[in-house]
Amino acid sequence: MSDAANEYQGKATMEKITSLAKRRGFVFQSSEIYGGQNGAWDYGPLGIELKNRIAQAWWKEMTQLHDDIVGLDAAILMHPRTWEASGHVENFTDPLVDCKKCKSRFRADQIPGENLSAKKCPDCGGELTDTRKFNLMFKTHIGPAEDTASIIYLRPETAQGIYVNYKNIIQSNRMKIPFGIAQIGKAFRNEIVTKNFIFRTCEFEQMEMQFFVKPGTDEQWFSEWKKRRWAYYEKLGVRMDYLRWHQHGPGELAHYAKDAYDIEYLFPMGWRELEGIHNRSDYDLGRHTQYSGKDLQYIDQDNSSERYIPFIIETSAGLTRNLLMILCDAYDEEKVADKGNDDDWRTVLRFHPAIAPVTVAVLPLMKKDGLAELAQDIRAELREDFAADYDQAGAIGRRYRRQDEAGTPFCVTVDYQSKDDNTVTLRYRDSMEQIRVNRTELAEHLRKEIKGYKRTK
């Protein structure tokens, strides 16, 4: 077997994903022409489409499909007291050690225990510094004076914007407990170690939902939300044997959590957290009551004006981390034809059609004889309802491969027969099977295929 074929034998690796992401315009390194900015990434034309669709799928799941959840878009900059109340100023730290010899920097909880106790660098064997706490929040100044009174933070989680608005939303939307508030937005963390592409970055996006419940019902709602979030990934078409639960032990629990489970995904570098489901108890609203001096109790009008601080069940997923998971999960390499040629492989992204950046590509078999015009006409019709691409450059086989690599689930080919009988070829990305469909039935056909999609490979 040739080297080229050998290279194709493995499935997704982080190198392959990073290189495909750049080559096809999913994700670029931030400020690349200046050598790149650590912990920051830019989303290219296919990447932003994919990110938007993942966000839309989550938003639909949380708001459109739940009567008791409403949306919010809070500011990134919040009153600095927020972060004192939330406990982030005091507790949102990572343990940091440096190697005095090679100057490498590590999170103390991510190096082997024997290295830490012997103060020995895992890379070069040099001496490590004492462990010190490092706060992950980015600090800046608001206004012209750079003094302590002007300190402001970039939010490290979107959740707090929801807590400080919870009373506003109850009043404006007449919400009754139990109810939830969903939000998607940027968060920032001064991460010590940012490796593995977009897995852990300093600027990222979260999709968080905070569900407010009566104390005493929190454990039941916690297990309900665990079930719902698991079912969500199944619906999204993720390979479920690549997901597992991890319960936080006492040493792992965040300062606000009574109980916490992560949904972990088997990334190329191993099992890693994808989303956290947390029982935050009454910690957050209790602390905001204390720090703001405002009464944040819920008044239950249906139950003789009973008052209490609600407990909060949080589902917190990284949007950008979800995108990495979707790329890894979709990535496949397949030998396409047995022509006695071991090198005939294709790279294909098997996205669920509902989240694929391009849903359908229309390709004229030839540019001449009116086929290009006919294909453009069909594309113009389809783009009203679908993300529809048009490509007339190069051999048809090569165009299919390009679309496979971008994860386009359907290709429509316009040929000479199309001119005669108004039919087109519909090619399926996953099976590469081709069928003939009448142009007038194409949109409806695609709609059905998207709705009924089941991943088979």
Name the residue nearer to ligand GAP (CB basis): 104 or 190.
190
* Contact assessment for residue 99 and residue 123, using Cβ atoms and an 8 Å cutoff: yes
Q: By CB under 6 A, tell whether 94 contacts ligand GAP.
A: no
Residue sitting closest to ligand GAP (CB):
318
The DSSP output letter for 154 is: B
* Binding region for ligand GAP (CB under 6 A) out of 19-27, 147-155, 202-210, 436-444: 202-210
Among the residue ranges 315-323, 348-356, 360-368, 426-434, the one whose residues contact ligand GAP (CB under 6 A)? 315-323
Query: Rounded to the nearest whole angstrom, what is the least distance from the CB of residue 198 to ligand GAP in the complex?
Result: 7
Contact (CB, 8 A) for 314 and 260: no
Q: Which of 86, 316, 359, 423 binds ligand GAP (CB under 6 A)?
A: 316
208 binds ligand GAP (CB under 6 A): yes
Q: What are the tokens at 8? A: 């194709």
* Pairing status of strand 311-318 against strand 331-335: unpaired
Verify binding: residue 439, ligand GAP, rule CB under 6 A: no
Which C-beta is closer to ligand GAP: that of 204 or that of 400?
204
162 binds ligand GAP (CB under 6 A): no
24 binding ligand GAP? (CB under 6 A): no
First-to-last CA distance in the chain?
24
> How far, in whole angstroms, is CA 270 from its chain's centroid?
17
Work out whether 413 is an interface residue with ligand GAP (CB under 6 A). Answer: no
Where does this chain touch ligand GAP (CB under 6 A) — which range of 201-209, 286-294, 358-366, 404-412?
201-209
Tokens coding 354: 């509902």
Query: Taking CB under 6 A as the rule, which mask of x and - marks residues 251-290 in contact with ligand GAP?
Result: ----------------------xxxx--------------
Q: For helices 45-59 and 319-330, what crossing angle results, to 10°?
A: 110
Q: In this structure, are residues 276 and 226 in contact, taking their beta carbons and an 8 Å threshold? A: no
In the complex with ligand GAP, the residue whose CB is nearer, 197 or 386, is 197
Which two tokens mark 53?
Answer: 């669709």
Is residue 206 within the footprint of ligand GAP (CB under 6 A)?
yes
One symbol per residue from 128 to 147: x for binding ligand GAP (CB under 6 A), - otherwise; what is it?
--------------------
CA 118 – CA 114 distance, rounded (Å): 6
Whether the CB-CB separation of 152 and 83 falls below 8 Å is answered with no
The β-bridge relationship of strands 306-308 and 298-300 is: antiparallel
Least separation, in Å, of the C-beta of 240 and ligand GAP? 18
Residue among 354, 356, 357, 396 nearest 375 (CA): 396
Shortest distance, CB of residue 265 to ligand GAP, whole angstroms? 10
* Exposure b/e, 387-403, CB count within 10 A at least 16 = b: ebbbbbeeebeebbbbb
329 binds ligand GAP (CB under 6 A): no
At closest approach, how far in Å is the CB of 205 from ligand GAP?
8
User: Are 267 and 199 contacting, i.e. CB atoms less than 8 angstroms apart?
Assistant: yes
Which of the stretches 72-80, 198-206, 369-377, 445-453 binds ligand GAP when contact is defined by CB under 6 A? 198-206
157 binds ligand GAP (CB under 6 A): yes
Length of the chain: 457
Cα separation, 390 vs 430, whole angstroms: 20
User: In terms of CB distance, is 52 or 190 closer to ligand GAP?
Assistant: 190
CA distance 278 to 260: 4
According to CB under 6 A, which residues from 163 to 192 bind ligand GAP?
189, 191
Stretch that binds ligand GAP, among 11-19, 125-133, 318-326, 367-375 (CB under 6 A): 318-326
Number of residues that bind ligand GAP (CB under 6 A): 19
In angstroms, the CA 203 to CA 436 distance is 46
Measured CA to CA, the distance from residue 54 to residue 356 in angstroms comes to 9
Segment interacting with ligand GAP (CB under 6 A) among 64-72, 78-86, 314-322, 419-427: 314-322
Stretch that binds ligand GAP, among 200-208, 231-239, 241-249, 299-307 (CB under 6 A): 200-208
* 18, 201, 359, 425: which one binds ligand GAP (CB under 6 A): 201
Verify binding: residue 317, ligand GAP, rule CB under 6 A: yes
98 binds ligand GAP (CB under 6 A): no
Q: 214-247 burial by CB neighbour count: b if 16+ within 10 A, else e? A: beeebeebbeebbebbbebbeebbbeeebbeeee
Q: Both tokens of residue 20?
A: 């495909």
CA–CA gap between residue 453 and residue 350 (Å, rounded):
11
Q: What residue ranges bind ligand GAP (CB under 6 A)?
A: 157, 159, 189, 191, 200-201, 204, 206, 208, 273-276, 314, 316-318, 320-321
